[in-house]
Structure 1
Amino acid sequence: MNVGESINRGKTLLQLRRPADAERELRGVLAVEPQQGMAQCLLALALIQQGRAGEAVAVAQEAVRLAPDHWYSHYVAGQVYYRANLADHAIAAAQASLAADPGQAAVWELLARGHMLKGQWRQMADAARRGLAIDPEVPDLVSLLSLAHTKLGEAEPARAAAAHALRLDPESATAHLVSGRAALAFGDPKAAVDSFREVLRLDPGFGSARDLLVTALKQRNPLQQTLSKLRRRYRGGWRLVFLLPVAPPLIAVFVLVALLHWAAWVSESVTVLRLARAKATRLLFEGAEARVALACCALVAGGTAVLGLGIALGLEAVGTAGVAVMALVTAVQEATHTGSPRGRKTLYGWTGLLVATIAVAVIAGAPVVALVSVYAELGTIWVAAGVRRFFLDHSAAEG
């Protein structure tokens, strides 16, 4: 076996996105020369590209052991950690690589990405600048700098960096993505839509671009823009609960916050349903997302009908139950938009309990019970926040 040729074939197969074939080639090299450091590095990359994070980490650590003073082994280990979503390890590996050779722009890019995973935007921007000082023509580094500025709320530097990235590589999906993110963050949803569509043209499998395109399409809706501004303004309203003992009228603020969230969820449901049915945008939505939007619109329509029936018949419990049915939109949407599977299951259980409460109120003719369910449904925004925080903290502790 010619080891050099086999390693070159492994590199080529990785570039062609054939990691399984690259793995076979590289394992053949290591069967002959187990201490071949470059083969270990490339094998680690082949494994992580196949989603086998545990094996990739072990191989990367062996590569570092074989060449502890070489920048590339630490760089590969950092790439593996980054793709395995291990931000602290990725940052440490990048720093070790830079200690061996600070003149590698690719390592500064890795360091910037590691800080990105942790939401350390200022450090991310600094790392990107250091990399660009070495090689100012790297589009991905410029894109990372633009994203960092966007997250820091620095509009002009973000737009300038995004434009620079597009000049360097007009066919870069990443450059168009950060351009769209800057436009969306700084109040230009129309330009953001154009950028995200270009991303999907260049790379149809770019999932985050699809989600951002949907967000940008929604933000073009004037009602959605107004509600979003109001919701951001009152985002910290829950802290006012500590003032209620000395200022009970503040309960009106909580009611306002809850109603704003409900109105925003209804608006989002209508917008998603409209986009899901339009020929130009229907492919942007998964079936589940469209079904949830349809269900929420049905809750509003059905609740309105039940409210009207209660008024017509003079049945207070039925009329209040109609309001409760409409208020279920908040509970359903908060559950649907919870990322943790266990948190989502918990909130769906909470929603089921609320539905049962409405049914009991109607059967028992108890308007007070129905009214309490309305308050509980609108207040789900705070229940959901607590559930998300609990499961996030629990996951972090287990990790």
Structure 2
Amino acid sequence: MSEQTNGSVPPGLRAERFERLLNWGRHKEALTEAGEWLREEPETPGPYNALALAYIHTHEYEQALACTDQALRLDPDDEDGWFLRAVTYYSTGKWAQMQEAADEGLRINPYRAHLHYLLANMHNKQGKFDRARRSIEQALKIESDNGLYEALYSYVLANERDFAASLEAAEAALRKDVENAQSFLYLGWAADRRGDPKTAKTMMEQAIRLDPDDEQTRNEYMEALQKNYWFYRVFTLPVFLRRFKPWQLLLIWVAASILFRPLIILLVILYILSFALSKLFVHVQVYGWRRAPKRREK
């Protein structure tokens, strides 16, 4: 699933038509509109940024970067140009370049909340949860009513094993935002980290209701269904073990494999069987005996 971009373009008829087409999901038409805008205003950053934003939505990231190059050639301090570069690098997982672009964008405008949000996401993916928490807290200071940011905050706190604070942030997110699929994904992941598969399933149901065609959302929903089968949960990590650090879990595993080797082998076999059976049951529950549909491009 692509992240929310919060892109902005200058006011005007072309900009309004472009933004309307983008919001309707008519990305190819939005590209055409941005091209017409560029022909009318070839020496301003706005149409280049519009083209970059459209290319991001069509996953044509090299073209998006080329457009931001042109926007920044015209104005090296163009806030939107740096922002869209950060979004593009985030989408392609080029973290060093994304950090540089975000830093430039925040130098120009330190109150661009979505850049703090993207940095929080990057740090979270890298397992740097303390830095992720500080970044998302900064985003929330700027936009305190943003449910998406609150949902990510809940997920980061769950990764830090601060489950009480994570649950509090999740409740705040639901009060602020009930129509964003990405928010429900974060809330589902947070609930899963807290060892609450029922809530995780509920959150994923809301995510797929809002964005049924997204492949990641479908996969997460089916995984949440799978974790609600009791025989699968029996052989996954008990909730109390999730409080241990990775190196502590490794030591426990090594000790158990030495002292209880036959039992460990049996548990591994049972886990594989429970995983396969629950996955099959979920597929039949969702698709029947048909194959899952192929991903549909937006």
Q: In which range does the TM-score fall when normalised by the shorter chain? A: 0.7 to 0.9
User: Does the 8 Å CA contact 2:211/2:217 hold for their aligned counterparts?
Assistant: no
User: Does the 8 Å CA contact 2:51/2:64 hold for their aligned counterparts?
Assistant: yes
Counterpart of 1:229 in 2: which secondary structure?
coil
For 1:250 and 1:160, how far apart are their aligned partners in 2? 38
What residue in structure 1 maps to residue 295 of structure 2?
none
Unaligned runs of 5+ in 1: 244-248, 289-399
After TM superposition, the score normalised by the length of structure 2 is 0.80
What residue in structure 1 maps to residue 7 of structure 2?
none
Task: Verify: 1:236 aligned to 2:259, yes or no.
Answer: no
Task: Verify: 1:163 aligned to 2:176, yes or no.
Answer: no
Tell me the percent identity: 25
Q: What RMSD, in angstroms, separates the aligned Cα atoms of the two structures?
A: 3.1
Structure 1 residue 32, shift from structure 2 partner = 4.3
Task: Verify: 1:129 aligned to 2:137, yes or no.
Answer: yes
What residue in structure 1 maps to residue 95 of structure 2?
87
For 1:119 and 1:14, how far apart are their aligned partners in 2? 33
Classify 1:180/1:117 alpha carbon distance in 2 versus 1 (closer, same or farther; 3 Å): closer
What residue in structure 1 maps to residue 113 of structure 2?
105
Return the structure number with greater relative CO, CA threshold 8 A, min gap 6. 2
Structure 1 counterpart of 2:287, from 268, 272, 283: 283
User: Does the 8 Å CA contact 1:162/1:178 hold for their aligned counterparts?
Assistant: no
What residue in structure 1 maps to residue 20 of structure 2?
12
User: CA offsets, 1:67-115, max 9 Å, x none?
Assistant: 2223222111111222233232222211111111112222222322333
User: Does the 8 Å CA contact 2:21/2:29 hold for their aligned counterparts?
Assistant: yes
User: CA offsets, 1:235-277, max 9 Å, x none?
Assistant: 637995xx9xxxxx96665554443222101112222233333
Q: How many residues align?
A: 277
After TM superposition, the score normalised by the length of structure 1 is 0.61
Higher helix share: 1
For 1:30 and 1:175, how far apart are their aligned partners in 2? 34
User: CA offsets, 1:115-146, max 9 Å, x none?
Assistant: 34433322222111111111201111111111
Structure 1 residue 26, shift from structure 2 partner = 1.9
User: CA offsets, 1:310-334, max 9 Å, x none?
Assistant: xxxxxxxxxxxxxxxxxxxxxxxxx
What residue in structure 1 maps to residue 53 of structure 2?
45
Classify 1:32/1:187 alpha carbon distance in 2 versus 1 (closer, same or farther; 3 Å): closer
For 2:104 and 2:283, how far apart are their aligned partners in 1? 48
Letter in 2 for 1:272: K
Structure 1 residue 18, shift from structure 2 partner = 1.9
Task: Verify: 1:272 aligned to 2:286, yes or no.
Answer: no
For 2:138 and 2:288, how far apart are their aligned partners in 1? 38
For 1:204 and 1:197, how far apart are their aligned partners in 2? 10
For 1:75 and 1:24, how far apart are their aligned partners in 2? 22
User: Does the 8 Å CA contact 1:23/1:43 hold for their aligned counterparts?
Assistant: yes
What residue in structure 2 maps to residue 355 of structure 1?
none
Alignment of 1:1-399 (within 5 A): 4-229=12-237, 236=250, 256-277=263-284, 281-283=285-287, 287=291
User: Does the 8 Å CA contact 1:48/1:84 hold for their aligned counterparts?
Assistant: no
Letter in 2 for 1:100: I
Classify 1:64/1:222 alpha carbon distance in 2 versus 1 (closer, same or farther; 3 Å): same
Structure 1 residue 172, shift from structure 2 partner = 2.7
Letter in 2 for 1:269: A
User: CA offsets, 1:20-44, max 9 Å, x none?
Assistant: 1122222223234432201111111
Structure 1 residue 156, shift from structure 2 partner = 1.2
User: Does the 8 Å CA contact 1:128/1:141 hold for their aligned counterparts?
Assistant: yes
Counterpart of 2:107 in 1: which secondary structure?
helix
Classify 1:254/1:286 alpha carbon distance in 2 versus 1 (closer, same or farther; 3 Å): farther
Classify 1:61/1:157 alpha carbon distance in 2 versus 1 (closer, same or farther; 3 Å): farther
Counterpart of 1:157 in 2: which secondary structure?
helix
